Structure 1
């Protein structure tokens, strides 16, 4: 093995040592954030980190020694070229005829298993390793010289299944689709208090009173009273154990898994706000029944007004006017497919009388998708169930004042723990994503939902 190859090998070893040291440091930071940590565990992890540190230093010194040796060899070669007498100096390489053969780039006697070739293929494909690309190009030129007639044959890649290296387009990986959190992002958000597992609110349930006084009679008086509303702080969490081999020898495995955990976290949060037993939106909203065997938009539209009327009647002066309609994507597209020849008698701001609403042309999960004919913004959320009703084929439309649907979230959520100690015996790395939240839709009983057989699986007929 040449000195240059030894230097390249030493650089690779140093890079590996640095990566290992960083992983041990990350594990130490994660361990210190664990509420259940012990002094012995921290001491043991510090020792592992220090051992990795020492290995980095050793590899660094070995590389420096080899590089210094290479510098000295280069100096001696230059010195020899200057001091050799002209009479004894050999003719220049390009001034004599020679018959010989240069060494191949990849030699089986030096690398029997072809590991250098494999490393160069990966490095040239996934990064900007120009040295690897140069070696591969030189190898192909050598192949054309020695086996050109074989390479010219019309054999496809299928004839060399063991030699054609598969390419994985890691930047175009297909993540698992998720409904995520359109409704949660549309409602009123608050920072979750730093401590406690409940959120308490006072709601005035008996108001004061006034009345027309009869002269010299007593003034109206009613004792004010409140009821304490208590909402539980819930924990949303998920985990995944990865083998160290997958992380260290895969391409982008850890970020892909972490991204999927975050997507599941968002979906679970939003699904809880809508569908959770007792407190979810579907269970606290007052029903506006729409029962019809042949549903049409003309029949559904008045139900929307009935629901919005109920929202405002419940809130009175507490209504913000920022009402939203939340529906499944199948319902939103069904409403868009409707054609008609009648229009509202009262026009709405920004919407032409001939239109049954507007579509803003935005993507799923990006906020308001459009507006209904009366100007109510539409949030499309596919966490809404589509298996409701006696036929298990109905969905629901929710009508709420967005400022009276409250969500408390930890500002740092979701949080991430990367722990190596618990799975060390099996070379596993545990990844945990978690966060705390609380919510309520019942500070005022204002939410309405349109439900019934009129919201069965839609058919797209234009009517």
Structure 2
């Protein structure tokens, strides 16, 4: 029905254009008579006028019929949408009923510990209850849509996919600690691969003015290549005494998992920003070949000079990427440096946006951590403490990035967990691990990133 609807709309548009053309022709006849100060049309003009009027009448009839059919299809689509929405509401209601009648195996606060059960099964300390709960949990993972929403990657892991509420906690902590990584385009990591090849156009086609009629037409073949993003692993572990596992009155898995995944998020952010591309690291933005750099060298830096450098960075993305940048990323101390700046009369140069400021170099949007805090040059400013602050000869310089974040690609797996009893069996110790995979590239469009650095960005004084 969508295709039929589009065809009807296209026909109506074409008919309306034809009617406008006929009207213009008819008006031209009367305009000529008025210009020549004639009260009556000439016989041939009158005949043409009547013929055009008949065409307009016929086109009006066609428009009326098309409008009627379009209205019928629109009404039918609305009825279908209503039925679909009703069916979806029923499905949600059934899901709510199901969730009331049968809760998940590892609900927060129900006294059951996911990692504790996992460890008991692998340590052969289970009387059967822990294995049964893990089997029910594996069924939850396979059938519950919430798990499928959270598990963005390489298949369901059964036992080894943590409970939903722990995953929710992971996402919350991860987003708080990976501001830069959250800016870029994030996609699920494809299964069964150790690297991702992303095609790109290396040399494009060409056009030129034809020298003369029948002259040769310019031809230039398109050339393509690819950008390679190897898959890397981030992992962490914690050794725990078996006494804590066996005798603890609380679910210690929440504490361990939260701390490991918080650091996992930070390491992901650092990889996106500064990964070296060697020793198992991805190639981060700063080490991507071809990104634009602006050196701000100044023994007596000022906010006004820095403002000009940021303006230069913005125009470079426009000029070299041919599209607009989307965000400015900087360390919190650099944003504080801007907030602390005042004019000759002691008035701040960055003021709250709600005050309708005039002649401000930037506006303060929110007193927030690791997210959008304001705007500058019409772009949102995001602060991230993972931005380096140890650069330069004095190892005290930071950098500012102006970037089109949508051009950067981050592929991530879901997080996984393991319990390993063997490694510390001689000391009654078990090892808890979390791990996940990522691939990242900023090399598709390196000119989407402009880095500002130099002696003008030394540690500010307040």
Relative to the length of structure 2, the TM-score reads: 0.58
Kindly indicate whether the alpha-carbon contact (under 8 Å) linking 2:237 and 2:434 is maintained by their aligned counterparts in 1.
yes
What secondary structure does 2:306 align onto?
helix
Q: How far is 1:250 from its partner?
A: 6.3
1:306 to 2:306 alignment = no
Summarize the Cα distance change of 1:23–1:408 in structure 2 as closer, same or farther, 3 Å threshold. Answer: closer
1:227 to 2:228 alignment = no
Counterpart Cα distance in 2 of 1:213 and 1:238: 63
Counterpart Cα distance in 1 of 2:334 and 2:224: 40
Counterpart Cα distance in 2 of 1:53 and 1:253: 16
Map 1:30-45 onto structure 2 (within 5 A).
45=124
What secondary structure does 2:253 align onto?
helix
What secondary structure does 2:193 align onto?
coil
What secondary structure does 2:298 align onto?
coil
Map 1:140-219 onto structure 2 (within 5 A).
180-214=177-211, 215-219=213-217
Q: How far is 1:395 from its partner?
A: 0.5
Q: How far is 1:249 from its partner?
A: 3.1
Kindly indicate whether the alpha-carbon contact (under 8 Å) linking 1:199 and 1:232 is maintained by their aligned counterparts in 2.
yes
Kindly indicate whether the alpha-carbon contact (under 8 Å) linking 1:179 and 1:267 is maintained by their aligned counterparts in 2.
no
Counterpart Cα distance in 1 of 2:378 and 2:260: 36
Q: How far is 1:423 from its partner?
A: 3.6
Unaligned runs of 5+ in 1: 1-18, 32-43, 55-175
What secondary structure does 1:26 align onto?
helix
Q: How far is 1:218 from its partner?
A: 1.5
Partner of 2:457: 455
Q: Deviations over 1:323-364 (max 9, x none)?
A: 2111111101001111126999xxx99963232222222431
Kindly indicate whether the alpha-carbon contact (under 8 Å) linking 2:369 and 2:383 is maintained by their aligned counterparts in 1.
yes
Q: 1:236 aligns with which of 202, 218, 234?
A: 234
Map 1:58-457 onto structure 2 (within 5 A).
180-214=177-211, 215-247=213-245, 248-249=247-248, 251-278=250-277, 279-284=283-288, 285-316=291-322, 319=323, 321=324, 323-340=326-343, 352-365=357-370, 367-372=371-376, 374-410=377-413, 413-446=414-447, 447-457=449-459
What secondary structure does 1:383 align onto?
coil
Relative to the length of structure 1, the TM-score reads: 0.58
Counterpart Cα distance in 2 of 1:349 and 1:360: 8
Kindly indicate whether the alpha-carbon contact (under 8 Å) linking 2:174 and 2:261 is maintained by their aligned counterparts in 1.
no
Q: How far is 1:426 from its partner?
A: 2.8
Counterpart Cα distance in 2 of 1:403 and 1:349: 28
Unaligned runs of 5+ in 2: 1-110, 132-172, 278-282
Counterpart Cα distance in 1 of 2:453 and 2:327: 17
Kindly indicate whether the alpha-carbon contact (under 8 Å) linking 2:120 and 2:130 is maintained by their aligned counterparts in 1.
no
Q: How far is 1:298 from its partner?
A: 0.5
Partner of 1:49: 126
Number of residues of Structure 1 aligned to a counterpart in Structure 2: 296
Counterpart Cα distance in 1 of 2:404 and 2:306: 20
Q: Deviations over 1:80-119 (max 9, x none)?
A: xxxxxxxxxxxxxxxxxxxxxxxxxxxxxxxxxxxxxxxx
Counterpart Cα distance in 1 of 2:391 and 2:294: 15
Summarize the Cα distance change of 1:251–1:448 in structure 2 as closer, same or farther, 3 Å threshold. Answer: same
What secondary structure does 1:246 align onto?
helix
Q: How far is 1:177 from its partner?
A: 13
Q: How far is 1:206 from its partner?
A: 1.1
Higher normalized helix content (fraction of residues): 2
Kindly indicate whether the alpha-carbon contact (under 8 Å) linking 1:289 and 1:450 is maintained by their aligned counterparts in 2.
yes
Counterpart Cα distance in 2 of 1:53 and 1:280: 42
